[in-house]
Amino acid sequence: MSQNNRQLENWCYLACLMEATARKPGNVHPEASFPDLSYIDFVKSAQVTAPLLVQSQPGNVGQIVLNCVKETRKVTSSNSNLGMILLLAPLLAVPQELTIAEGIDAILTGLTVDDARSVYTAIRLAQAGGLGKTEAEDIATDPTGTLREVMRLAADRDAIASEYESGFQIILQTAVPALKEFWIQTLDWEAAIIRLQLQLMANYPDTLIARKCGRSEAEQAAERARIVLQSADFKTSLAELDNWLRATGNRRNPGTTADLIAAALFVALRDGFIPTPEVSTITEKVPPRFKPELRILAHEG
């Protein structure tokens, strides 16, 4: 592996690790699990997919998504990272001599029907929740359009699909600038990520919540995120939001927002908007009970 690819793999892994480790309201993190999904599931998923994602290039984006889902299924039985993979695969296909903003649209324009076919297979394999049925290009059928074209059909109800249509507008125009600002303000990677989550939820009601619970509940989550951002007692308001999001199990899990965060972290690291942290500065926030398994995973990696 070239030095450049090794660095890309490191940034990809760090982005996923930081997203999973930050104690964001409503999401899985070291101190909060779902019945079918734990923090270690996310760490394992990041470890097996980062080496595959660096192989992404024009012509194989869909196949890389499928390969990542296949490897993820070997280490966890749940859908831990489909949304992240769908966002990261085209981002990592951008030639390294270009910034993401300079190169992403050419990658998206070049996506093919074969890419769509591979992604449909990956989605079915991952058993993504809350998709429902559509009149055109339903996930249970064989796609007839390119990956960008079929994503465009879902753009009004899925933020990840919307990124394919818009050229990653949310990530490039909102998430990365906000992350950079919060990073400077807080001087703490976890605090910056939590604030980024709140900002994204407030601006773009989480589409996973909308699919599971309805648009009105996603809008309510967005309003609650805005309240936390404006609160004089941030810590208490954040805990109240976390309690509300978890009150119905994982139905109000802002999972799409988490996927956007992982992608934004990768872009910010790759293109120099934030400094690259050491893994130890991330895992130092993990409770001691996880440390032995993290050490084993690091050794295996």
Mean pLDDT taken over the chain: 93
Q: How far apart (Å, rounded) are the C-alpha atoms in residues 143 and 188?
A: 44
Is the pLDDT score of 59 beyond 80?
yes
% of the chain with per-residue pLDDT over 90: 85
In tens, the pLDDT along 156-169 reads: 999 999 999 999 99
Q: What is residue 293's predicted lDDT score, i.e. its pLDDT?
A: 77
Q: What is residue 129's predicted lDDT score, i.e. its pLDDT?
A: 54
Q: What is residue 84's predicted lDDT score, i.e. its pLDDT?
A: 98
Q: What is residue 134's predicted lDDT score, i.e. its pLDDT?
A: 52
Q: What is residue 88's predicted lDDT score, i.e. its pLDDT?
A: 98
Q: φ and ψ at 34, to 5 degrees?
A: -105, 165
Mean pLDDT of 54-58: 97
Q: What is residue 130's predicted lDDT score, i.e. its pLDDT?
A: 46
Q: What is residue 4's predicted lDDT score, i.e. its pLDDT?
A: 83
Is the pLDDT score of 180 beyond 70?
yes
Mean pLDDT of 190-196: 98
Of 240, 252, 183, nearest to 22 by C-alpha is 183
Q: Are 148 and 109 in contact (CB under 8 A)?
A: yes
Q: How many CA atoms lie within 13 A of 86 on its CB side?
A: 30
pLDDT band at 152 (very low <50, low <70, confident <90, very high): very high
DSSP-based three-state secondary structure for 139: coil
Angle between helices 147-154 and 159-166 (to 10 degrees): 130
Is the pLDDT score of 137 beyond 90?
no
Query: At residue 42, what is the residue type?
Result: F
> What's the CATH number where 156 sits?
1.10.4200.10
pLDDT band at 132 (very low <50, low <70, confident <90, very high): very low
Is the pLDDT score of 228 beyond 90?
yes
Q: Are 235 and 144 in contact (CB under 8 A)?
A: no
Q: What is residue 288's predicted lDDT score, i.e. its pLDDT?
A: 83
User: Which range (11-20, 108-117, 140-149) has the least confidence?
Assistant: 140-149
Rg (CA), the chain: 18
User: Which range (5-9, 98-102, 104-108) has the least confidence?
Assistant: 5-9
pLDDT band at 300 (very low <50, low <70, confident <90, very high): low
Q: What is residue 135's predicted lDDT score, i.e. its pLDDT?
A: 47
* Domain around 121: 3-300
Q: Are 205 and 217 in contact (CB under 8 A)?
A: no
% of the chain with per-residue pLDDT over 70: 93
Beta carbons within 8 Å of 282's beta carbon, 6+ residues apart = 14, 17, 18, 21, 189
Q: How far apart (Å, rounded) are the C-alpha atoms in residues 301 and 298?
A: 5
Q: How far apart (Å, rounded) are the C-alpha atoms in residues 125 and 247?
A: 29
Give the total number of structural domains in the chain: 1
pLDDT band at 78 (very low <50, low <70, confident <90, very high): confident
Q: Rounded to whole angstroms, what are the CA distances from 162 to 63, 149, 151, 156?
A: 20, 11, 7, 7
Q: What is residue 156's predicted lDDT score, i.e. its pLDDT?
A: 94
Q: What is residue 131's predicted lDDT score, i.e. its pLDDT?
A: 43
Mean pLDDT of 53-76: 97
DSSP-derived letter for residue 29 is: B
